[in-house]
Structures are given as structure tokens and as C-alpha cells.
Amino acid sequence: MAMTVHVDVVSAEESIFGGLVEYAIVPAEMGEVGVFPGHAPMITRLKPGSVSLKLPNQDEPELIYVSGGMLEVQPGLVTILSDSAVRGKDLDEAAAQQAKREAEEAMKDRSAAMDYAKAQAELAEAIAQLHAIQKLRNKGQRV
């Protein structure tokens, strides 16, 4: 049996995932981080993107979209905290496309710096969701 580590993925609304994985690939702020059993303790911020969890006895990793948040790695436990998290299979491509269009339109009107920054953040989240959907399609998990 492969070595495993316990991973919890929690959003503000609910616990999305809790269980043993062979590894997790997480979208950290400075680039993707691979977390395997025995990883050194660490804490880092997350950017919007896909968390990839390789479950034992499952060929394809499970994908979970996170809107950002924090990653904490402790011996035997990995915790991913996010404002919002959605299982890959539950992502809505049409809604993500619409959010992307709205954010792009908002960025064209630079009337207020705060609105522009908010639009940039919303655009980054929409693009990350679309990338997660594309990863699922490439793996054959979504029609």
C-alpha cells in the first residue's frame, strides 16, 4: 500500500474533502506545491486554482477548485482553507464564462482603482475555474 497523508479541504460554507491521499498539488501564491507524505511543515497563501488530490486505488486525481486561501502542512495532516471551494465536477462553465466577461468589461472602465482591483480578482477566479474545467475535460472526467 502506498504511503498517504490526511488532507482536509474546507471552505467558509462546508467541508469539501477529508481523507487520505497519496499526494496533493496545491496552487500556492508563488507556484504549485506538491505535498507528499513526510513533507516538511509549512504555511503559505493560495491563489485561485485547482487542488489535485491523488486518492489511493484511484487512477485519476480528484480536482477541487479553490478561490484562494491558506495551506498548512503539518506532520500527517494537510489543511487547505479557502473562502470558497467547489468540487471539479460541480463547476459551472457557463457561469464562469459569464463572470469572466463581466470582469473584463469592468476592467475596461478604470473609473475607480478599487473597482479595477476587484475586477482583476474576479477575472483571476473565473479564469482559474475555466482552467479547472479544462483539466477535467482533458482527463475525460467531464463530457
Q: How many domains does the chain have?
A: 2
User: Considering 88, 110, 125, which residue would you say is the last residue of a domain?
Assistant: 88
One domain for residues 68 and 102: no
pLDDT at position 67: 85
Tell whether 44 is covered by a domain: yes
pLDDT digits (tens, 9 = 90+) for 46-87: 998 889 999 998 988 888 989 889 999 999 999 999 988 888
pLDDT at position 74: 95
One domain for residues 11 and 78: yes
pLDDT digits (tens, 9 = 90+) for 4-43: 999 999 998 889 999 999 999 999 999 999 999 999 999 9
One domain for residues 58 and 104: no
Angle at CA 92, nearest 5°, toward 90 and 98? 160
pTM greater than 0.75 (yes/no) = no
One domain for residues 81 and 95: no
One domain for residues 33 and 44: yes
One domain for residues 75 and 42: yes
pLDDT at position 91: 62
What Å distances lie between residue 130 and 62, 76, 96, CA to CA?
Answer: 16, 32, 6
One domain for residues 83 and 26: yes
pLDDT digits (tens, 9 = 90+) for 101-124: 777 776 666 665 556 667 767 777
Output the nine-digit C-alpha cell for 125.
477566479
Tell whether 126 is covered by a domain: yes
Output the nine-digit C-alpha cell for 140.
475525460
The band of 143, judged by pLDDT with boundaries at 50, 70 and 90, is very low
